[in-house]
Chains A and B, each alone.
Chain A
Amino acid sequence: DAGVTQSPTHLIKTRGQQVTLRCSPKSGHDTVSWYQQALGQGPQFIFQYYEEEERQRGNFPDRFSGHQFPNYSSELNVNALLLGDSALYLCASSLKVTAGGSGYTFGSGTRLTVV
């Protein structure tokens, strides 16, 4: 049973460019959350998608947007990249009905470097 799959694993972008990161949730999961983990820091919540809609959002600017597809997979888009966007981006999937956060599965992340 595949867990959460993220692609690509690494990428390098230039300031001002746009980037799209992809996530396939664990089989049976219907909810996808995205987190940003800066070097030496804990993950910070970006947003969560369920039923193809953004349900909750953390303290991130509108440059960060997302999408969820009918097959529950998700994309994270970041526009007008800044050097400070360099981080590990983690995708986590879960089943909406699961209470208390204990059913989350995290992917291995996409390492984004902005130069």
Chain B
Amino acid sequence: GNSVTQMEGPVTLSEEAFLTINCTYTATGYPSLFWYVQYPGEGLQLLLKATKADDKGSNKGFEATYRKETTSFHLEKGSVQVSDSAVYFCALSDTGNQFYFGTGTSLTVIP
């Protein structure tokens, strides 16, 4: 079946630090992979996506590369800001009809 495992949180970083949030997946087919972000009291916002192996998704300084050989889609950012504080969810979709989400990783960035 399909599932996503992501790094346990919470993660606390100082401003301008490097961020990595690990995500691995299990899928029966060839899924698309996503990172969503959830700010307090809000719904999910798409951060970036990749639809096939070796694709790199990027947005707002965040990047993730679809690695089929390691079944991974790790999220990285070179220099985090206080405004990046949120919960980050890794997800996969095989048919486009249903998302499978990880449990989320809470990030707090301190000035």
Contacts and interface: CB of A to CB of B under 8 A. Distances in A.
Interface of A: 4, 33, 35, 40-45, 48, 55-56, 58, 90, 92, 94, 98-102, 104, 106-109
Given A41-B103, A102-B32, A4 B97 contact: no
Contacts of B97: 33, 48, 55-56, 101
Interface residues on B, range: 20 to 34
B103 A4 contact: no
A100 B104 contact: no
A94 B46 CA distance: 13
The majority secondary structure among interface residues of chain A is loop
A40 B103 contact: yes
Given A102-B51, A104-B46, A42 B101 contact: yes
Contacts of A90: 43-44
Contacts of B46: 102, 104
A101 B44 contact: no
14 contacts: A4-B43, A41-B104, A42-B101, A43-B89, A45-B99, A48-B97, A56-B97, A56-B98, A92-B44, A100-B49, A104-B46, A106-B43, A106-B45, A108-B42
A43 B99 CA distance: 9
Contacts of A35: 99
